[in-house]
Amino acid sequence: MKRFLGSLIATTNWPRAAASIAVGTGLVLLNGCLVGPNYKGPPTAQIPPTYKENSNWKVAQPRDEKLSGNWWETFGDPQLNTLEQQVNVSNQNLRSAAAQYQQSLALLRYNRANYYPTLTTSPSATRIKNATNRPPSSSIFSGITYNDYVFPVQLSYQADVWGRVRRTVEQYRDQAQASAADLATVNLTMHADLALDYFQARTLDAEERLLNDTVRQYQEALDLNESLFNEGMASILNVQQAQTQLETTRAAAIDVGVLRAQYEHAVAVLVGKPPENFSLPPLPLTTPPPAIPAGLPSDLLERRPDIASGERMVAAANAQIGVATSAYYPLIDLAAAAGFESGSIATLFQGPSVLWSFGPSAVATILDFGRRRAVADQAKAAHNQAVANYRQTVLTGFQQVEDNLAALRVLEQEAATEHAAVTAAQGALDTAMTQFKGGLTSYLTVTTAQSALLTNQVAAVNILGRRMSGAVLLIQALGGGWDASALKT
């Protein structure tokens, strides 16, 4: 290689080469021109000063004003924490999104390479036999057989005079950032889905425990009625009513297992395991959800990854307008070639075998019957679409936060009312049982009071489960502690 460079330097006509290089350099210096609109930041969107539902419901002051990255730790459930950590390692949807992000980074690197020249070589060794009768008949090459050895090196560079390359890189950079935000969205969704399925399973555990406790109470009531019937103090109807209620409740307790198994299987898939190799130990839900800090609506634009993704897609669409606009200007190429050519391999790398060339070229479209205008119009329409999608995503984000704030507010009130209903139903059952044992009322009154108590107890358990789900959905709507600053620039 040193010999090659030394021979090239020694034999090159540098005054002419310098002139050509000066012209090319002058063209490259024109790179300051950048066509297309510059991105001026996120599109405007309607942002309310406060959340409507948050002002109607003053939650207890949370310990932190913002959610942390491991938001599930807010619930203080070690079993949930363990499962959530497995999502980061084994969830296949998350791996797919990560691979998609890696693809976007590769595309960005591919287009960034256009900032630099391309260096190629195409060595060849050819043996040629010219025809004797080739015209002109007096040619000195007629009938000659000779060898041709060539070792060229070509350098090509497309001068980014109008900013086409820079706009293209800008577009793919914005798309890569959007892909990173999409990865964060999938990550948040998978963790939220796991928490939802987990709390649904725990709600069913609580319902199953309630039903099993009630079965034991109904068994005691059946034993009492059978004892009274055997002593002639009660009719067979009382026994039949008690047995009907017992078996109905027992069947309901068994039926809970259907949904419980489905939620366990769903959790297994989310942590990347076959359901056969996974077990979720029963753990009845007993505690209400923690207070979730909602923050200000303006914070949502920086805390939801789907909103950040939409904003980055707007930026990418804006850059695409510049790419389309650059088609109106000529493409300017700088090309250089150097190497050796000889009829003998022994003299290939000697001074007289050196060859070189350098020169700029330009390609411009004179007439395309509106093709470039159509492409530019399409890019502008795509930008308008991206803006509309971004604004819709912002509105949807506000809606989801408001929905879950309202759900938590209403369900907290409903839980208090349902607790009062359970207390009243328990008192009615105690009174009915006392009167039945004293012979003041029929057993039908007892079974009615028992059904009312069980109905209210099951409703209370389901309300608690809905409150936990509402808390998870609110955290998801708030972005789960994510921040737009996590996007790499």
pLDDT tens-digit series, residues 400-437: 999 999 999 999 999 999 999 999 999 999 999 999 88
Look up tokens 């939220």; give the residue: 192
Q: What is the model's pLDDT at position 356?
A: 92
- The answer to whether residues 21 and 103 belong to one domain is no
- The answer to whether residues 188 and 262 belong to one domain is yes
- The answer to whether residues 135 and 195 belong to one domain is no
Report residue 49 CA to chain centroid gap: 28
The range of the structural domain enclosing residue 154 comes to 1-32+118-159+330-363
Would the pLDDT of 155 be above 90? yes
In this structure, which amino acid lies at residue 258? V
Cα–Cα distance measured from residue 72 to residue 199, given in angstroms and rounded to the nearest whole number: 12
- The answer to whether residues 136 and 223 belong to one domain is no
Would the pLDDT of 386 be above 50? yes
Which tens digits make up the pLDDT trace of 190-228? 999 999 999 999 999 999 999 999 999 999 999 999 999
In this structure, is residue 291 part of a structural domain? yes
Q: Which class for 4: exposed (0-12), middle (13-18), buried (19 or more C-beta within 10 A)?
A: middle
Q: What is the model's pLDDT at position 62?
A: 41
- The answer to whether residues 145 and 265 belong to one domain is no
In this structure, is residue 129 part of a structural domain? yes
Q: What is the model's pLDDT at position 489?
A: 67
Q: What is the model's pLDDT at position 273?
A: 94
Over the range 56-69, which residues count as b (16 or more CB within 10 Å of their CB) and which as e? eeeeeeeeeeebee
Which tens digits make up the pLDDT trace of 257-302? 999 999 999 999 999 999 999 999 999 999 999 988 888 898 999 9
pTM of the model: 0.85
The CATH number of whichever domain residue 135 belongs to comes to: 2.20.200.10
In this structure, is residue 423 part of a structural domain? yes
For residue 232, how many C-alpha atoms fall within 13 Å in the half-sphere facing its CB? 0
- The answer to whether residues 258 and 149 belong to one domain is no
- The answer to whether residues 166 and 279 belong to one domain is yes
The CATH number of whichever domain residue 413 belongs to comes to: 1.20.1600.10
- The answer to whether residues 359 and 212 belong to one domain is no
The proportion of the chain whose per-residue pLDDT surpasses 70, expressed as a percent, equals: 91
Sign of the Cα torsion 52, 54, 57, 58 reads negative
- The answer to whether residues 259 and 286 belong to one domain is yes
What does the pLDDT average to over 59-76? 70
Sign of the Cα torsion 141, 144, 145, 147 reads negative
The answer to whether 412 and 343 have CB atoms below 8 angstroms apart is no
- The answer to whether residues 80 and 6 belong to one domain is no
- The answer to whether residues 418 and 321 belong to one domain is yes
- The answer to whether residues 149 and 280 belong to one domain is no
Q: What is the model's pLDDT at position 130?
A: 82
Q: What is the model's pLDDT at position 65?
A: 53
In this structure, is residue 368 part of a structural domain? no
Would the pLDDT of 22 be above 70? no
Number of folded domains that form the chain: 2
Would the pLDDT of 233 be above 70? yes
Which tens digits make up the pLDDT trace of 298-343? 899 999 999 999 999 999 999 999 999 999 999 999 999 999 999 8
Which residues make beta-bridge pairs with 363? 331
Closest listed residue to residue 161, CA positions, set 39, 334, 368: 334
Residue 52: which pLDDT band, with cuts at 50, 70 and 90?
A: confident
In this structure, is residue 5 part of a structural domain? yes
